[in-house]
């Protein structure tokens, strides 16, 4: 089981998230990498929607809208330090 959770999230320019995790790591996640695989995520190219990001599910995900979220596992494993 993956026990690391999102502690904080901050939207940066160019659809990059700065994510701090409960293990003390802070990483950068490029949301644009989801655009080719998941059509619904292209809505995040709109900065007004992208900047709505917040922690949800007790740190198990971040959400932008009711329908758009990213799990802590995806954020942790597919981001850079």
- Residue 75's pLDDT is 98
pLDDT of residue 1: 65
pTM (2 d.p.): 0.95
pLDDT tens for each residue of 41-59: 999 999 999 999 999 999 9
Which residues 6+ apart lie within 8 Å of 4 measured at CB?
21, 22, 23, 25, 72, 76
């Amino acid at each position: 089981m993956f026990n690391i959770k999102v502690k904080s999230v901050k939207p940066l320019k160019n659809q990059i998230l700065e994510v701090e995790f409960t293990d003390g790591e802070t990483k950068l996640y490029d949301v644009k990498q989801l655009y080719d695989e998941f059509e619904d995520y292209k809505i995040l190219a709109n900065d007004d929607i992208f900047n709505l990001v917040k922690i949800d599910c007790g740190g198990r995900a971040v959400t932008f809208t009711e329908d758009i979220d990213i799990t802590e596992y995806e954020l942790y494993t597919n981001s850079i330090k």
